[in-house]
Structure 1
Amino acid sequence: MLNRFTRATLLAGAALACLSAPTLFAQTATPDATAAADTPGDAGLGEIVVTATKRETNLQETPISMAVMSTEALKDRHVSSLYDLADGAVPSLRIATFEARQSALTIGIRGIVPLDANQPAREQGVGIYVDGVYMGRQHGLNAALFDVERVEVLKGPQGTLFGRNTEGGALSIVSKAPTGEWGGRVEAGAGNYGGRNANAHINLPSIAGFSVKLDGVIQHQDATTKNPMAGQAGFNYYNRKGLRAAVRWQPTSSITNDFSYDVAKDENTPFYSQLLNYNPNGCANGTQASHAACTLPGTAYTNLTGGPVKPLMPGVVVNGDTRMKTADIGVPQQVSVDKTHGFTNMLKWEVSPQIELRSITAWRGVDATQWDNSGGAHRPPLVSPALGSTAAGCTAAAPCAFSRYSLADLRQRQFSQELQAVGTFGNIDYVAGLFYFNEHVSDDAATPSSMGAVAIRNAAGAITGYNYVTIPFCTASTPAFVGSAVNGCSIDRASEVWSKSYAGYGQLTWNATDALHITVGGRYTHDKKKGVLHYSRNVNYDTNPPAASVGYQPLDASWNRFNPMATVAYDVSNDLHVYAKYATGYRAGGASSRTSNYQAFDPEDVKSYEVGLKSDFWNNRARFNLAGYIMDRKDSQVDISSIQFVGASSFNNLVTINAPGTTKIRGIEADLTVNPIEGLTLNASYAYTYTKIPPVLITATAAAGGSTSVYQNFYIVFTPRNAASGSIDYAVPVGGGDTKLKFHFDGNYSQATQAFDQFVTKNDSSLIFNGRVSLADIGTGNGRNLTLSLWGRNLFNEQYVFRRDPSNSLPAAPTSSVTSGSIANVLGDYGNFNAPRTYGVEASFKF
């Protein structure tokens, strides 16, 4: 087996030899993936059709830095959900699962990555679109993918054509449309960890202008980390099911109406949160001067209280090197459930050769329940007293509580309507549109303790060990505003938000000559957002309004933005295209439901300056694209996360502020695809991303008066300075028909990144390899064929921490004094390891 250094050297060599990404994957596309040669006899790389400008264009002639993943590329990498792209297949695209469950994803492009966009009044920085419909929440995004034609990753601000919350870019998923001809594909497979998948995609014959397509998907994997408690779910488990029906109506040659309905259910559990170390900062009570490493960022402690740091509970395992196959202490763990559903209707009417009118209408909803006990004994509250103590407590009648069970509910409904006019008048290409978006979201959360420690004592009354037992939780009467997960609990928070957005936009491209193209555009947006806290720290704000000293204010804000863009593109030749682009974007403001005062924050704005080139050479057998950009972001939304303790429970307090000054983001993206001989395609891609947020002066005020101010550094999360990806695809004809033996191998590297805005602590670097071998298109007669495949992800079983949390290794946030912090609940860093090696076999029958 190759060691990490050898694998890194091989991948670095491949990256230096190639450099790639926009054209990275679509070059391997089959005819059903919108990549085809100009003529049947052409050799080399085919043309790739994209819709990034709201019209179909050739990728190489579109002055936008973007990556396109075809059907075949997704299959080769065994991408069954968006999280499968977290290994870095597109270096500028970063995806991380929210700690509490896999279906809530954090998605970023070019350093625009929010730490916690799971709150109802917080927005994403990258717009996610499915068949032209904006997904308002990141919840439910990891549901099973249906029959995808391609995934377009648009890099950089897309504020003109795609609107708010697309500062970093947009990720557009395009589904395959009904064909109107009888046919389809049925697939089934099995893998390790009890993995199994099946999907069916059926096209029915067109009748009276109506074409119907049906898609069904099932994906399952057993837990990769076992839970020792009998009858309870393990960790990194998922079970996904989804159905989609699409109907295309074409009453005339100029009118096409596409209607679709989809419903999906995603049952999953979080990755296991291991204890990576114990008291790594050497915290001990006393003066802060003697414990310089034991302090919260932005806090000028002079004293540490609550010590000494408690010893580890018996049975707790510290392991920062390898992924644990079995949790150290069994805990109650129920699967989280995300249910998504929605209707989409897209009407296109080609009024004349110069104008096409479009209407995109959608209504969607998400219902999520979260059950996260991934930390077990690795998160506060901590059990005391220690072994050998004769102190009272931790009895069978009153066990010492631990094992923080993070429970939450979310319900979201959205409606959107977009009207577009797209066409060409003479040498002017144009897009104009109106957009309306209406969203209602409510959420709640609770964090009861689910386990108890019962002391075992010797004859002298000294504690010699512990028995661990489950304890009742959430047994109170049901509060007035809760969902099913927190039913009967002490409520940490519950909030409700109503958002509306109105926009009008336009974009013109003047084809001044056959080679010179000048594009200008702009979008005006009016956003309005209202929100309330119903509960905070188990106080019902509806019936018991908080005291004025808390500073609570319902959210009632509106913002107006005009986002312009301009591009100058020049076709040096048929094979070389260069461009310079200025673009802007903005992310709406909101309020943090994780604070007792529902602290509001303002929008952030970004300006981007980009230059790039796209080229084909070597008789269309090689393609090289390069982009460089400078982005300046003002009023950056940054998060300050801390654990606060209320009675016997803990509260995850998260304050979002707008950092003053200008956040600098700089980057280079390079992509190369080479087809040196028939059947062989080499790809590589590289992204360099530099980020810098100016230090922020943080002022803490004590309840008893007085304050202290400290400059604090902030970081952009999940954004590596250097990232690269490379792949090799080779197809060899077998026999005299269309049968081919196909090989795919890819490697993906990411430098270490931060997981929290205010912590310098980094995750691990990663190097992941995936592969697939297929005997494809085995003819079975009458136009039918069979494909048999063997696939593997994380082939070398690389183990790295993708989310490292130092919150539990630092003192608690100050309460009554701004100069003292308690170390009573200091334990250590905990984190999540990536998924282990998975592999399996698949059969696909096409008819």
Structure 2
Amino acid sequence: MLNSASLRLRLLAGAALTVAIASPAFAAATPTDATPPAATPTAAAPSATDPAPTDPATADPADQTGLGDIVVTATKRETNLQKTPIAINVLSSQALTDRHVQSLYDLADGAVPSLRVATFEARQSALTIGIRGIVPLDANQPAREQGVGVYIDGVYLGRQHGLNAALFDVDRIEVLKGPQGTLFGRNTEGGALSIVTKGPSGKWGGSATGGIANYGGYNGALRLDLPEVYGVALKLDGVVQYQGATTKNPLVGQTGFNYYDRRGFKATARVHPISGMTADFSYDNGYDSNSPFYSQLLNVNPNGCVAGAQSAASACKLPGTNYTTLTGSVKPVPSQVVVNGTSRMKTADIGVPQQPSIDKTHGFTSNIRWNVAPEIELRSITAWRGVNATQYDNSGGYHRVPVVAAGCTGTACNFSRYSLADLHQNQFSQEFQAVGTVGQFDYVAGLYYFNEHISDDAATPNSLAFNSTLSTITVLDPCTGSGGFGSQPGCRSIDRASEVHSKSYAGYGQVTWNPTDTIHLTAGGRYTRDEKQGVLHYSRNLNYDTATTAQLTAAGYKPLDASWNRFNPMATLAYDASDSVHLYAKYATGYRAGGASSRTSNYQTFNPEDVKSYEIGAKTDFWGHRARLNLAGYIMDRKNSQVDISSIQTTASGSFNNLVTINAPGITKIRGIEADLTVQPVTGLTLTAGYAYTYTKIPPVLIASTGVYQNFYIVFTPRNAANGSIDYTVPVSDMDLKFHLDGNYSQATQTFDQYATKNDAAFIANARLALANIHVAGSNAVTISAWVRNLFDKQYVFRRDPSNSLPGSPTTSTTSGSISNVLGDYGNFNAPRTYGMEASVKF
């Protein structure tokens, strides 16, 4: 019998397939100021006199006769979305404005059903991004790679740190779904997220935006286009974004939770050194001060753990184990601790030391394009980028181990794990491309080089202490308070520190043969060689650089020195059944490089994983181009899936997050269906809907130490996800009144690889009302708007961690485990309703 949620979802999916859509009105035509060269690669860039395709989100309703063309660059050239045989969603600049998207984390509510964005732990400073079930739990380690490639103006970003920085004058975000291993390379198993910004126009102009919001929020953006002088066009962009804490920290002088303060600057210069050549040189610098989401204690001992003999049906069981006996006891929860699993807390139950985490990003990019001849365009993309991230995370208070009991003495009274980490990354990349058309053949060829150096360290001291009767709480000395160690630099007990050098070399090519006007056969391949050298400097306060051979042998430590070679082929057959119906079948492959876990004392290595994908799709326009329906179905088989086993291990000075990454044997199955619909039933009204069904199954893994088969899960991948939106423009005198409403649904999903425990299902709505084209000084340059995110103030747990509610790992035998640190599940609620007003002016 269907439950109500399943019934609603199926009705929504049925309605979506009945109406007729295409990529949620995230449709975006490429405007004339879009970034040129390699940032938005084109076979032949349109001239300033060429008519631009219509953008249904921004076009004058009076001039609009149907859904406009959407230009994408997924094949390294400008193509029409509907004629490009790849499953793609496009978020236009207008769509980002309507949803009040200021950073990539704002897409976590489901703007694209198959795109999943989540924080690592509760931290805003590092994001996990997944597409089609390729979602790593912890891709934030220096020697581990992400499963979805993130690009800004054609430049690959090697780390997920710094991804939540402010966005600069984005023209569109292209979500390329499915393996992109040929044109985009390694670590694009699930797809690629390509952010395209606007470049210089060479003409005087610009815009300014300012706004205020609840929680003391404000935002501002300035775009300045300067006239071309001596062959140089300059564009300047600046942004500021601020939000106060949404959960208060009772400890005086300390930062609250879910706070951010971002700012950034970007300068781009465009020159034409010789005839047929265009070169863009840009520099950007970003600063992001933020704090984590608050981690609440959701329940107490939910699995009913008690000491003594255990039955096979007992829920008090760590995955991969088969306890017959449990030892210790579950301690009572102190009276100061609030247990709340139903609503978002506005004030933390216990005040904790909490400083803002700081992310600093910077980069220089050179994009050069040269039309050598009608048949060939040469491009060069050169980039130096870096990230410096300093993490302060004390979001859990008493809601994480260690658990304190009455009668405690010394370090046994300490609690409130303060996770302190530093990461420094620098990368250099160089890519050469040749793009063109010869007769019936369209081709792309390229060479790629990537060099990355990363170092990190982390400490997790306790920051607070109970007295022996649990009646009072004191703040520990920041230098000596936690087992003789503290949180100040120079006083920390380093849990881990590592350093990695990575290099990647690749050559690729892709050719599309167009034997007729309706048949297009594409074949391509990419050869990649990856090299990694890494070392542990510290683990559990042991200096590996000065440790004895006996100490290193006891830890089982071995430096990382590995290389991998891959050839990733792809083939696509596309058929234009008519001017408005385009069909395709595609075979594609991808791979994610191997590495080592710096969260283990032996620096445990793991191998690459590989994926094969089989996909069929249809892209259709009908009803006089007033409706658009895109469908895709795919089968992906992944070999050697990298899965994580996470546990918290208590130490004298705090607690250590031990995370082992292994390769699951066998084939991981990922199956999916996607539908995107856009309908314009009357002039000025656009309706969109999207749906993604994703089935995932990792074969059970035999745990050698226990002889027990353990199930693993793909995180943050709902079986069903859907969204829809309404955009309506009404002429008011000589102005336009614009209304936007979107709703986004996601089914509950696992948030840890090894736990069946799920987060909550979610439905989030966003809205915006704007009065546009207000005439000032003879021009329609002003827009005034009001926006709201999480319109109905829905509250759901987006991350649920059961590790504190289960026994510890076996120590002396495989049949006995301790429950002395069993507390309960803890997790994080989504952001509350935020709202504000904005005014923008173009000049």
Q: What TM-score bracket applies, with the shorter chain setting the length?
A: over 0.9
Q: Does 1:564 align with 2:569?
A: yes
User: Against the structure 1 CA distance between its residues 65 and 12, is the aligned structure 2 distance closer, same or farther, given a 3 Å change threshold?
Assistant: closer
Of residues 525, 548, 557, the one that matches 2:553 is 548
Could you report, residue by residue, the CA deviation over 1:473-504 in whole angstroms, capped at 9, with x for unpaired residues? 34499x9xx99975421111000000000000
User: Against the structure 1 CA distance between its residues 296 and 558, is the aligned structure 2 distance closer, same or farther, given a 3 Å change threshold?
Assistant: same
2:772: which partner in 1? 776
Cα displacement (A) at 1:375: 0.2
Q: 1:659–1:696: 8 Å Cα contact kept in structure 2?
A: yes
User: Against the structure 1 CA distance between its residues 475 and 362, is the aligned structure 2 distance closer, same or farther, given a 3 Å change threshold?
Assistant: farther
Separation in 2 of the partners of 1:283 and 1:513? Answer: 69
Structure 2 unaligned blocks of 5 or more: 35-51
SS in 1 for 2:106: helix
Could you report, residue by residue, the CA deviation over 1:232-291 in whole angstroms, capped at 9, with x for unpaired residues? 000000000000001111234411001110000000000000000000011112123277
SS in 2 for 1:197: strand
User: Against the structure 1 CA distance between its residues 124 and 671, is the aligned structure 2 distance closer, same or farther, given a 3 Å change threshold?
Assistant: same
2:439: which partner in 1? 426
Cα displacement (A) at 1:303: 1.9
Moved more, 241-250 or 125-134: 241-250
Q: Does 1:846 align with 2:835?
A: no
Q: 2:33–2:201: 8 Å Cα contact kept in structure 1?
A: no
1:698: which partner in 2? 703
User: Against the structure 1 CA distance between its residues 488 and 745, is the aligned structure 2 distance closer, same or farther, given a 3 Å change threshold?
Assistant: same
Separation in 1 of the partners of 2:252 and 2:610? Answer: 51
Amino acid at match of 1:132: G
Cα displacement (A) at 1:393: 3.1
Separation in 2 of the partners of 1:619 and 1:784? Answer: 31
Could you report, residue by residue, the CA deviation over 1:535-559 in whole angstroms, capped at 9, with x for unpaired residues? 0111011101434232111000000
Separation in 1 of the partners of 2:535 and 2:833? Answer: 44
SS in 1 for 2:123: coil
Could you report, residue by residue, the CA deviation over 1:45-84 in whole angstroms, capped at 9, with x for unpaired residues? 0011110000000000000000001110000000000000
2:712: which partner in 1? 714
Q: 1:621–1:674: 8 Å Cα contact kept in structure 2?
A: yes
1:365: which partner in 2? 386
Q: Does 1:99 align with 2:115?
A: no
User: Against the structure 1 CA distance between its residues 780 and 471, is the aligned structure 2 distance closer, same or farther, given a 3 Å change threshold?
Assistant: same
1:724: which partner in 2? 722
Cα displacement (A) at 1:162: 0.1
1:575: which partner in 2? 580
Cα displacement (A) at 1:300: 1.9
User: Against the structure 1 CA distance between its residues 843 and 312, is the aligned structure 2 distance closer, same or farther, given a 3 Å change threshold?
Assistant: same
Separation in 2 of the partners of 1:663 and 1:379? Answer: 32
Q: 2:477–2:486: 8 Å Cα contact kept in structure 1?
A: no
> Map of 1:798-837 to 2, 5 A cutoff?
798-837=794-833
Q: 2:418–2:463: 8 Å Cα contact kept in structure 1?
A: yes
SS in 1 for 2:272: strand
1:687: which partner in 2? 692
Separation in 2 of the partners of 1:717 and 1:486? Answer: 34
Cα displacement (A) at 1:18: 4.2
SS in 2 for 1:74: helix
User: Against the structure 1 CA distance between its residues 726 and 487, is the aligned structure 2 distance closer, same or farther, given a 3 Å change threshold?
Assistant: farther
Q: Does 1:470 align with 2:475?
A: yes
Separation in 2 of the partners of 1:803 and 1:35? Answer: 41
Q: Does 1:611 align with 2:612?
A: no
Q: 1:14–1:726: 8 Å Cα contact kept in structure 2?
A: no
Of residues 385, 393, 413, the one that matches 2:409 is 393
2:226: which partner in 1? 204
1:460: which partner in 2? none
Cα displacement (A) at 1:428: 0.4
Amino acid at match of 2:138: D
2:263: which partner in 1? 241
2:236: which partner in 1? 214
Separation in 2 of the partners of 1:722 and 1:485? Answer: 45
Cα displacement (A) at 1:747: 0.2
Q: 1:147–1:175: 8 Å Cα contact kept in structure 2?
A: yes
Cα displacement (A) at 1:783: 3.6
Q: Percent identity?
A: 69
1:797: which partner in 2? 793
SS in 1 for 2:105: helix
Could you report, residue by residue, the CA deviation over 1:121-154 in whole angstroms, capped at 9, with x for unpaired residues? 0100000000000000000000001100000000
Cα displacement (A) at 1:37: 6.8
Q: Does 1:345 align with 2:366?
A: yes
Q: Does 1:508 align with 2:511?
A: yes
1:154: which partner in 2? 176
Of residues 637, 643, 665, the one that matches 2:670 is 665
1:26: which partner in 2? 27
1:703: which partner in 2? none
Q: 1:448–1:474: 8 Å Cα contact kept in structure 2?
A: no
2:41: which partner in 1? none
Separation in 2 of the partners of 1:709 and 1:170? Answer: 39
Amino acid at match of 1:563: N
Of residues 148, 154, 159, the one that matches 1:132 is 154
Separation in 2 of the partners of 1:42 and 1:234? Answer: 48
2:71: which partner in 1? 49
Cα displacement (A) at 1:817: 2.6
Separation in 1 of the partners of 2:712 and 2:692? Answer: 22
Cα displacement (A) at 1:815: 2.6
Amino acid at match of 1:827: L
Q: Does 1:632 align with 2:626?
A: no
Cα displacement (A) at 1:28: 9.3
> Map of 1:482-521 to 2, 5 A cutoff?
487-521=490-524
Question: Which TM-score applies when normalising by structure 1?
Answer: 0.93
Q: 1:476–1:489: 8 Å Cα contact kept in structure 2?
A: no
1:459: which partner in 2? none
Of residues 317, 320, 333, the one that matches 1:312 is 333
Amino acid at match of 2:691: Y
Separation in 1 of the partners of 2:778 and 2:639? Answer: 61
Moved more, 546-555 or 141-150: 546-555
User: Against the structure 1 CA distance between its residues 435 and 326, is the aligned structure 2 distance closer, same or farther, given a 3 Å change threshold?
Assistant: same
SS in 2 for 1:36: coil
Q: Does 1:224 align with 2:246?
A: yes
SS in 2 for 1:815: coil
SS in 1 for 2:384: strand
Of residues 525, 531, 534, the one that matches 1:531 is 534
Q: Does 1:258 align with 2:276?
A: no
Separation in 2 of the partners of 1:588 and 1:19? Answer: 40
SS in 2 for 1:733: strand
1:417: which partner in 2? 430
SS in 2 for 1:73: helix
2:194: which partner in 1? 172
Amino acid at match of 1:446: A
1:279: which partner in 2? 301
Separation in 1 of the partners of 2:683 and 2:674? Answer: 27
Q: 1:745–1:770: 8 Å Cα contact kept in structure 2?
A: yes
Separation in 1 of the partners of 2:53 and 2:27? Answer: 7
Q: Does 1:449 align with 2:430?
A: no
SS in 1 for 2:143: coil
SS in 1 for 2:391: strand
Q: 1:282–1:291: 8 Å Cα contact kept in structure 2?
A: no
Separation in 1 of the partners of 2:30 and 2:199? Answer: 17
Q: Does 1:303 align with 2:325?
A: yes
Separation in 1 of the partners of 2:462 and 2:313? Answer: 31
Separation in 1 of the partners of 2:30 and 2:758? Answer: 37
Cα displacement (A) at 1:382: 1.3
Amino acid at match of 1:140: G
SS in 2 for 1:420: strand
